[in-house]
Amino acid sequence: MDQMFVNIKAALVGLSDKVFPDWVGVLVSIAVSIVAIALLGPLIMMYLTLIERKVVARMQNRIGPNRVGKYGLLQPLADGVKMLIKEDIVPRNADKVLHLLAPILIVAPALLVFAVLPFGRNMTAVDLNVGILFFAAISSIGTIGIFMAAWGSNNKFSVLGGMRSVAQMISYEIPMVMSVVPVLLAVGSLSTNAIVEAQADWHWFVFTPWGFLGCVIFFLCGVAECNRSPFDLAEAESEIIAGFHTEYSGMKFALFYMAEFMSAFTISGMTTTLFLGGWQGPLLPSWLWFFLKTYGLIFIMLWFRATLPRLRVDQLMALAWKFLLPLSLVNIVATCIWHFLSDEAFFTPAAFLVPLALLVFSYWGLMKLNQPYMPEKRVYPLVD
């Protein structure tokens, strides 16, 4: 049960070995992986749109789509058909090459990260031994795509949205990568598979003080990277219509949409890999554990979207540079302390309490330093 998909793939390769020469077997094995990812990505994205609409609707005291198919299960197909048959309008003065290239440059990196996610035991599509580096590098390419979309649309609001988005994405990359460093210190390898295997026996990194903080920082920065609420000012609907993808319609818009949801999935997937123990867990098959944890984090993202208003651009930057970045640097120090103080057992008290004290102190200190942004208490007199 656990190795179901691995066995299926091995059977397919064996089939081709019987008929074709050896080198075809290699190609078949690669092809099976590619097809699986290429089908999985869009499928996940489609049903994620439906899940988002249902969950957000439930939080708003209404039911989501329930007309197309039972419980709205065929809604993504209807949406897909709608997007495909829409007219593709390109503004007259737009830069055609940039306008065409931008959606591709945004979707491709989002899909590429699926290759290094460990979906289960022995189920990583490509087991690179620099997996985390690959993830960090590829997810930065999306920034260029967004700016190309904004510039190529020949629309002032788009350019505003694009610039905001580029500033935001660059600022949030740094704390994101910094918060991964503690994990690398603890594991000693960049490979995603190795990181998950180091978290066996409930030694999930989220149960340590530095892991918990790292998880929170990584998740928040990841949400900012995906341009989702509350960091979605690049597409702030109520202010600048749709920001960088205002002038897109039809399939190109669908590609932007796809990229956003696929990034949401990959960020959640990465967080579970790095901090929540990946596919580790008792009883259930490993890939089921992975999906459960990932969808739990996605639910939290949807929860953010339905409840929190949006930050203003300068407050967003301040959050990244003045709060998250120092905190992630202190986190690295705390990890080193933990590493030196801990001996054989995972949960040694001294190794827990000293980093915990350091982190709590630095959190409190940073809150105090960022005082101008703290809400004030007001008094309202009632007069006759």
Partner 1 sequence: MFEKMRVKTKVIDSGKSGLDTQTLEVNVGPQHPSTHGVFRMTIVLDGEVVKSLRPVMGYLHRNHEQIAENITYSASMPYTDRLDYFNSMSNNQAWAMTVEQLAEVEIPDRAEYIRVIMSELTRLVNHVSVIGFLLNDMGAFFTPTLFAFREREKVLDVFEAVSGSRMMCNYLRFGGVNRDLTDDQLGQIKKIVADFPAFLDEFETLLAQNEIVCMRCQNVGVLPAELAINASITGPMLRASGVNYDIRKVDQYSVYDRFEFKIPLGEKGDVYDRYYVRMLEMRESLKILNQALEQIEPGPFMAPKVPACLKNPRNFKPPVGEAYGRVEAPKGELGFYVVSDGSKEPWRYHVRAPSFINLTVLEAMCIGYKLADAIVILGSIDIVLGEVDR
Q: Which of 49, 124, 143, 229 binds partner 1 (CB under 8 A)?
A: 229
Instruction: Say how many residues touch partner 1, by CB under 8 A.
Output: 43
In contact, 226 and 267? CB cutoff 8 Å: yes
317, with CB counted inside 10 A (0-12, 13-18, 19+), is middle
Q: Which is nearer to partner 1, 159 or 198 (CB)?
A: 159
Least distance CB 313 / partner 1 (angstroms): 6
Please report whether residue 322 would count as binding partner 1 according to CB under 8 A: no
In contact, 271 and 100? CB cutoff 8 Å: no
In contact, 148 and 194? CB cutoff 8 Å: no
Please report whether residue 233 would count as binding partner 1 according to CB under 8 A: yes
Please report whether residue 23 would count as binding partner 1 according to CB under 8 A: no
Q: Which of 128, 174, 306, 366 binds partner 1 (CB under 8 A)?
A: 306
Least distance CB 311 / partner 1 (angstroms): 6
Q: Which of 75, 155, 266, 328 binds partner 1 (CB under 8 A)?
A: 155
Q: Which of 312, 340, 350, 361 binds partner 1 (CB under 8 A)?
A: 312
- C-alpha 246 chain-centroid distance: 23
Q: Which of 219, 232, 290, 291 binds partner 1 (CB under 8 A)?
A: 232
Please report whether residue 364 would count as binding partner 1 according to CB under 8 A: no
The structure tokens listed for 306 are: 């339905």
> 161-188 as b/e, with b when 16 or more CB fall inside 10 Å?
bbbbbbbbbebbbebbbbbbbbbbebbe
Please report whether residue 384 would count as binding partner 1 according to CB under 8 A: yes
372-375 CB contacts, 8 Å cutoff, 24+ apart: 373/315, 373/318
- For the chain, how many residues are written? 384
Can you tell me whether residue 271 is helix, strand or coil? helix
Q: Which of 238, 282, 344, 371 binds partner 1 (CB under 8 A)?
A: 238
Least distance CB 367 / partner 1 (angstroms): 11
Least distance CB 308 / partner 1 (angstroms): 6
DSSP for residue 312: P
Cα distances (angstroms) measured from residue 318 to each of 224, 227, 230, 370, 373:
13, 17, 14, 9, 9
Please report whether residue 307 would count as binding partner 1 according to CB under 8 A: yes
Binding site for partner 1 (CB under 8 A): 56, 59-62, 91, 155-157, 160, 229-230, 232-233, 236-241, 246, 305-315, 373-376, 378-384
